[in-house]
Structure 1
Amino acid sequence: MSKQRRNQKQSALNIEPGIYEIDSGTAEIQPDPFTPGAYLLLVNGVQSSQLIPDEPQRLGFEYMRWIAIALGFRYPREARLRFMHLGGGGATLARWGADRYPNSRHTTVEYDAKLTELARENFGLPRSPIVKMRVGEAGQVLSETRPDSWDVIIRDVFVNIAQGNHITPGHLTGIEAAETAAQAVGHHGAYVINYGGPPNLQPARAEAAALAHAFEHVTVISDATMFKGRRRGNIVMIGTQTELAAEQLGGMGGFEAALRSEPLPVQAKYNAATTNFIAGTAPSTTPLLLTDPV
C-alpha cells in the first residue's frame, strides 16, 4: 500500500472524549448515544460533527449524506477533485471525500484555530496534501479565490446566537458570494451550501435566489416537512452550470431514487421546481466582504 493510501486510511483511535477550550468557547467530544462506536463533536453545546472511526463513508448527519449522494452522481470515483470546505469543524466531509475520491485534495477553512488543532489531533484525518487545514474567515478566503481554482466548494458555516441557535453569517449568503463561488468552481464544478434555519423559509428562498443569479442550475434538497415550513432543519442547495447528476452515473432519475431510499426520504427540487421554490423572492445582496466577519 502506498504512503498516500496509508495516510487516507489513518485510524481515528486517538479520540479523547472530554471538554476542550477553544478560541470561541468550548468544544466537547462525547460518545454518540445513538450510534455505537461513534463520537460527536459539540461546539458551544451545538452538535457540529459526527465521527465513526475507520468508516469515513458512514455519515450520521442527514444533510452530509445528501451532499455525498449528490456528489456521487456528479463525479466518478477516479476524478481528481479539488475541494474547499468553508467551515472546518471536525472535517467530517473532508475525511469522507478523501476516502470516496482517492485522487482528491481538500482544504478546510475554520475561523477557530484551537478547534482546527483539536480536529487534527483527535479525528485521524489524512495528512497534507490530502487534507490541508487552514485557519481563516470563510468570507475572506472565498473572496481571494481565483477562477477555476476548485472543483467543489462546500459551505457549512454557522455562528452561535442566543439560546443555542446558530445562523450563517450574512456576508456568505448574498449574490456576491454566489458569483465568487461560481467563478472559483468554473463550468464543471459545484457550489454546495448547507442551509440551516427556522420553519419560515423566506431566508432559504433568498439564498436559492442568490444562487440562481450565479448558476444555470440550482438543486434544492430536503424532506417534505421542511419544505412545507413545519420545522427547523437543513436544506442542501447546490449550484452548478450543468445539470447536477451525470447521465453516465445514473442521471437525475438515479439521484432522486437514492434520495428516496434514505431512512427519512427526501426530495430534490430542480429546474421548474426550483423556480417555484424561489417564487419571486428577492435574493440576498449582503456584500461578501464586511469589516466585521460575523
Structure 2
Amino acid sequence: MGRQRDRKPPGESEGGPAPGIHTIDTGTCELVPDRFNPNGWVLHVNGVPSSHIDLTDPARLDFEYMRWISSLTTAQWPVTQRLRVLHLGGGACSLARSFAATFPDARQVVVELDGKLATLVREWFDLPRAPLLRIRVGEARAVTESLSDNSRDLIIRDVFAGSRTPRPLTTFEFVQHAKRVMDAAGVYVVNCGDSPDLAMARREAATIATAFTNTVIIADPAMLKGRRYGNVIIAGSDAPLGEEPGLARELLGGGVLAHLWHGEQVTRFISGAPVLHDQST
C-alpha cells in the first residue's frame, strides 16, 4: 500500500470520508464530522480521539500537541530541507500530512500497527503518495530496529494503547535504536500522555536526557504544574535544540499556550526519576 508511486490530482480523494463506526484490525474506529468546521473530520480509535483532518487545509493542526511538535520542527530546520521523517503511530496521518505541506521536499514514512486503519485513511483523505509519504504497516519497535543507520533526520513517537504508550517504546534501549537510525543532528520527539503526578513524563524525560546531549520539554502550564491529565512533548538531540528565539514566543501564542523547558529546568524536572529500561519495573 505504502509503496504506490502514483499521485492523485490535488484535492481528489479515492473514496471520500465515510462517517460512522468502522471495524479495524485492533477494534473499531469512528469518523465524526467536526461540528465547528464543515471541512473537518475527527478520527476516534477505540473510543479515543486520535486525529483531526481539515480537507481543505493540510497544514492545519487542531490538536495542540501536534502544533507544538510542528513548531519545534520548523524552528529546527528550514522549510526547504529535504527532511527525512519517521512517524511511529499513524492515525489519520495528520502531522505527516501537515509536514508534507510545510516541507514540500520531505520524505516521510508513517508506521501504523493497524493495517485496516491505514487502508481506510488512504481511502478517506488526500494523503500524498510515495515517495513523499509512505504508510508502513507494522509494530513500531520492530520497524525501527530494522531501519538503516543515519537514515532519518526526525523521529516522532506518538503511539498509544488506550491512554498509555506501550512500555517497549519508552525504554533507553529503544531510544538507542532510534538514535542509531537518525543522523548526528537528528531529533527524537515523543508525545507522553500522563496523569497529574507526571511520574511517567519524568521517567521518559530522564531516559531521553540520558541518551542525548540536549533535551527539551513542551507542555501547557497546567500540565507542568500537575493539575490535569494531558500531553507532554519531550525531545532529545545531540545538536542544539529549541534555541531559536522565536520558538518560545510562538508556543506562548497558540490557542493553548505552552512553556518550553530546557537546561536547568529539565534537570530539575527529572531529578530523582529513574531511567526506563527493558528489564526494569
Does 2:260 correspond to 1:278? no
Q: SS of 1:84's equivalent?
A: strand
Q: Which residue of 1 aligns with 2:87?
A: 85
| Aligned partner (choices 219, 222, 229) of residue 219 of structure 2 | 222
Counterpart CA distance in 2 for 1:15 and 1:258 is: 32
Counterpart residue number, 1:26:
28
Match of 2:177 among 176, 180, 185: 180
Residues 59-112 of structure 1 deviation map (CA, whole Å, 9 limit, x = unaligned): 000000000100010010110111111011111111111111011111111111
Q: TM-score, normalised by structure 1?
A: 0.89
2:99 — aligned with what? Answer: 97
Q: Give the count of matched residue pairs.
A: 276
Cα pair distance change 1:10/1:98, threshold 3 Å: farther
Q: Secondary structure at the match of 2:76?
A: coil
Q: Report the residue type matching 1:119 in the other structure.
A: V
What are the within-5 Å matches in structure 2 for residues 3-82 of structure 1? 14-82=16-84
Q: Contact 2:14–2:122 at 8 Å: present in 1 too?
A: no
CA shift for structure 1 position 9: 6.0
Residue 186 of structure 2 is aligned with which of 189, 202, 209? 189
Identity score, percent = 40
SS of the aligned residue for 2:215 comes to strand
Structure-1 separation of matches of 2:93 and 2:252: 26
Structure 1 193/7 Cα, relative in aligned 2: closer, same or farther at 3 Å? Answer: farther
Which residue number in structure 2 is paired with residue 124 of structure 1? Answer: 126
* Conserved? CA contact 1:10–1:126, under 8 Å: no
Deviation per CA, 1:105-155: give whole Å up to 9, x if none: 111111111001011111110111111111100011112222211111110
Distance 1:90 1:57, change over 3 A: same
Residue type of the alignment partner of 1:116? A
Distance between the aligned counterparts of 1:121 and 1:37, measured in 2?
16
| Aligned counterpart, 2:196 | 199
> Structure 1 residues 58 and 4, CA, compared in 2 at 3 Å: closer, same or farther?
farther
Which AA in structure 2 matches 1:286?
D
What's the Cα RMSD here? 2.0
- Report whether the alignment pairs 1:233 with 2:225: no
- TM-score of the superposed pair, with normalisation by structure 2: 0.93
Residues 1:264 and 2:256 aligned together: yes
Paired with 1:12 and 1:78, the residues of 2 have a C-alpha distance of: 29
Q: Secondary structure at the match of 1:73?
A: helix
Residue ranges of structure 1 left out of the alignment (5+ in a row): 161-165, 246-250, 288-294
Distance 1:12 1:264, change over 3 A: farther
For residues 223 and 31 of structure 1, the distance between their equivalents in structure 2, rounded to whole angstroms, comes to 27
Alignment partner of 2:57: what SS? coil
> How do residues 148-187 of structure 1 correspond to structure 2 at under 5 angstroms?
148-160=150-162, 166-187=163-184
Task: Say if 2:79 and 2:103, in contact at 8 Å, map to a contact too.
Answer: yes
- Following TM superposition, the consecutive aligned residue runs of length 4 or more in structure 1 with deviations greater than 3 angstroms are 3-13
CA shift at 1:197, angstroms? 1.5
Kept after mapping to 2: 8 A contact 1:11/1:54:
no
CA distance in 2, matches of 1:76, 1:8: 24
